[in-house]
Amino acid sequence: MKLNTKGRYAVMAMADIAKCGLGGAPSKAVPMAQIAERQHISLPYLEQLFSKLRREGLVSSMRGPGGGYTLARPASQIYIGEIMQAVGEPVKMTRCNREKNESTGCIGGGDCNTHELWSALSDHIYNFLGSISLQDVIDKNVGSFGSLTSNLRAVNEKTGPEAIEEAI
């Protein structure tokens, strides 16, 4: 269960633009070559990723000298989950492609005890990434979520899920 470089690089690059593109009133375009150098990512590889980011409408591009990339929206309105999804970093914990209620989704049909676990895990990760914006990342404002769930765990260990509301 590892993160691959596509998702990681894409977020790194987006954070780089968010950080270095500031200055002008219409925010300055950041050339890809600079991003590649600062983040130590191979330029041709980065080009692949930006092709996808552009198609998904997360960045805008300008060609020619002085050109480069800008964020298509303010950093506070771009969520990590979107970036991951755009470059094809799927959050996929279940093996079957069916809907939750179809028990036939799993191999052999009907005897998959663990489907709901993996499904819940996917949701959990998805929600986490969908709740953190690029702005949060460059502000290093990510810790709160981690500590929140730590509290939940402590509650759950003692008294069970009923006490969760207290924790919030």
Partner DNA sequence: TAAATACTTGACTGCTGTAGTCAGGAATTA
Partner DNA sequence: TAATTCCTGACTACAGCAGTCAAGTATTTA
Among positions 46-65, residues that touch a second copy (CB under 8 A) are: none
Q: Which amino acid is at 165?
A: E
Q: Is 32 in the site for DNA (CB under 7 A)?
A: yes
Long-range contact set of residues 21-25: C-beta below 8 Å, sequence gap at least 24: 21/69, 21/70, 21/71
Question: Does 98 interact with a second copy (rule: CB under 8 A)?
Answer: no
**Per CB under 8 A, 42 contacts a second copy:** no
Q: Over the Cα atoms of the chain, what is R_g?
A: 20
Which part of the chain contacts a second copy (CB under 8 A), choosing from 26-34, 42-50, 59-67, 77-85?
77-85
Question: Residues 6 or more apart from 96 whose CB is under 8 A from it?
Answer: 105, 106, 107, 112, 115
Residue from 23, 24, 44, 140 binding a second copy (CB under 8 A):
140
Among 23, 25, 63, 108, indicate the residue that binds DNA (CB under 7 A). 63
Closer to a second copy by Cβ: residue 40 or 63: 40
22 binds, among DNA, a second copy, none (CB under 5 to 8 A by kind): none
Residue with Cβ nearer a second copy (29 or 82): 82
DSSP element (H, E) containing 69: strand 68-71
What is the distance between the alpha carbons of residues 65 and 84, in angstroms, rounded to a whole number?
29
Which residues are paired to 61 by β-bridges? Answer: 69
Q: Decide if residue 19 touches a second copy (CB under 8 A).
A: yes
